[in-house]
Structure 1
């Protein structure tokens, strides 16, 4: 407004008339700018139609200049007749109007485009999160019948030969499944709680395999509160039992070890295996594949599950970054 008044005074208008002209013209220019920005809030042109904005800016600038003349003409002292004499301020008024309205239009197009892109990004992330949650639930749900069928087959084999053990196994299976249903409500569990639930599963397997299955759990007390995705260990231990016991008639020991490495919880499940007779010494069956996929969905990393075999031991290593 000050520049406007100064330019008009340079054309010979008094400071009073220049100030009135500046006030009226810039107030109307502000209204036109608001009109354009409000329109862009509800309609943004396609990328190849920005020429429409240029035409719109020119038309609004022309409308603003004519409206300014009309309003000033209604004021005393015939201000409009003097300020709008052809050849005096028409060109500069039009240039200033196009410049300011064009800049205003560009700023609002960029602003609303960024907002639109942010909303689309938020919707995409929400859809991905929902898809990831659905897949995680599907992976966990697939584990239940996988384990349940094995247990029911074992119970079926024990019913005639060892009915007492069959009843014990049914009770342990019920306790395990009841705990599993409770855990479905949580994505994360304390390591101590996960180990307690895992012990129910191991009790079932010990009824199934008797003295042939031994387990050693080495979890430092300091790591008992470490966080771990619910039901993450059971498929790995099931895999260790499968490939540790199925190819031998001798007793075996499965070790479950936890340690801290920086901000990560490292879990190792070790089971003996014979590389000559083992059907899948380097395998990643359904259980291990489900662990790897869950870790990838949760942390976006594909290297959090590792398997290795040496000196008659098959080692499954699970790395769990701890939540902040």
Structure 2
């Protein structure tokens, strides 16, 4: 059920002013026909009290039932029917009140019947159409609100799904590494299990979509500690995150898949040492996080698309910020560059 426009603060003064003007005009017209002020006022009050009741009735009716598909001719039909019934009622009830000279007043009622009918039809029709547009507008707003709520729930569900896909992807890789270290380096395997436990515990606690950059960097460092157990001195990292950007908010676990991608294409096809760098800077109204890693163009030929990790990041950024240009990749000689842009 919609909120009646008669309860709208902005509508009340306009409606009241219109009614006062109509009543005043009615009294003035009847006075010009030679009737006393008392008769003119009583006649006006009878007419407009009944018409006001008609307007209230049709307003309440439209509140519960609004013709679909813009069938305003139905509302016009209702308005005309109410106007006819009301004027017939006024025509027969007014003489029973013994207002002034009975014969003169009856003659006035007869001669003004069709004029009052037309005027009351216009008034009731005008109010009916306003009510119809008002309730229709409120219904459209409710539908739009439900649509936005539905989109929000779908977006949250997809974001949660994307995050859940990231965890098994990383977990499988880590468990494979632990398995390979169990016999050759059992101490390293135990250390990696503890680090993996700390990492996953932090991941489970992160239910919010956004977190501060400093917390995200700490979470990334836990991941890098695990990877350094796997790769030893071959993996070197540098993270440059100025103090002024540490408290800015970024999506949860947005850096881990990017760095995992950098390790995959930087280390898997080489036996030497590499360095992966992460740099955070402010550019206009954007927080730019740039990741650089070396790659061998012969062993890692260009592929179509971004791969699972980067596609996941790109989709999450698109859902959170409604933009599709927040992740970009580039190459500079044998350096692969990934940039993400976080709107502030």
Task: Give, in whole Å, the separation in 1 of the partners of 2:88 and 2:101.
Answer: 14
Distance 1:9 1:171, change over 3 A: same
- The one of 88, 91, 100 equivalent to 1:69 is 91
The residue aligned with 2:42 is 20
Q: Offset at 1:91?
A: 1.7
The residue aligned with 1:33 is 55
Q: Please give the per-residue CA displacement for 1:225-247, whole angstroms capped at 9, x wherever unaligned.
A: 11111111101010111011112
* 1:11 counterpart = 2:48: no
The residue aligned with 1:93 is 116
The residue aligned with 1:175 is 198
CA contact (8 A) 1:253 1:271 kept: yes
* 1:254 counterpart = 2:276: yes
- The one of 62, 72, 87 equivalent to 1:50 is 72
Distance 1:268 1:78, change over 3 A: same
Equivalent residue pairs, number? 321
Q: Offset at 1:204?
A: 0.4
CA contact (8 A) 1:281 1:314 kept: no
CA contact (8 A) 2:276 2:291 kept: yes
The residue aligned with 1:317 is 339
Q: Offset at 1:283?
A: 4.6
Task: Give, in whole Å, the separation in 2 of the partners of 1:259 and 1:251.
Answer: 26
The residue aligned with 2:185 is 162
CA contact (8 A) 2:178 2:189 kept: yes
CA RMSD of aligned residues (A): 1.5
SS of match in other structure, 1:265: strand
Distance 1:258 1:321, change over 3 A: same
Task: Give, in whole Å, the separation in 2 of the partners of 1:109 and 1:197.
Answer: 56
Runs of 5+ in structure 2 lacking a partner?
Answer: 1-22
Equivalent residue runs for 1:180-199 within 5 Å: 180-183=203-206, 185-199=207-221
Q: Please give the per-residue CA displacement for 1:101-147, whole angstroms capped at 9, x wherever unaligned.
A: 00000000000000000000000000000000000000000001100
Task: Give, in whole Å, the separation in 1 of the partners of 2:180 and 2:104.
Answer: 109
Runs of 5+ in structure 1 lacking a partner?
Answer: none
The residue aligned with 1:110 is 133
CA contact (8 A) 2:62 2:131 kept: yes
Q: Offset at 1:276?
A: 2.4
The residue aligned with 1:133 is 156
Distance 1:84 1:317, change over 3 A: farther
* 1:302 counterpart = 2:315: no
Q: Which moved more, 1:260-269 or 1:199-208?
A: 260-269
Q: Offset at 1:28?
A: 1.1
Q: Offset at 1:5?
A: 1.2
CA contact (8 A) 1:216 1:253 kept: yes
Distance 1:241 1:82, change over 3 A: farther
Task: Give, in whole Å, the separation in 2 of the partners of 1:309 and 1:201.
Answer: 25
Q: Offset at 1:72?
A: 1.8
Q: Offset at 1:7?
A: 1.7
Distance 1:93 1:84, change over 3 A: farther
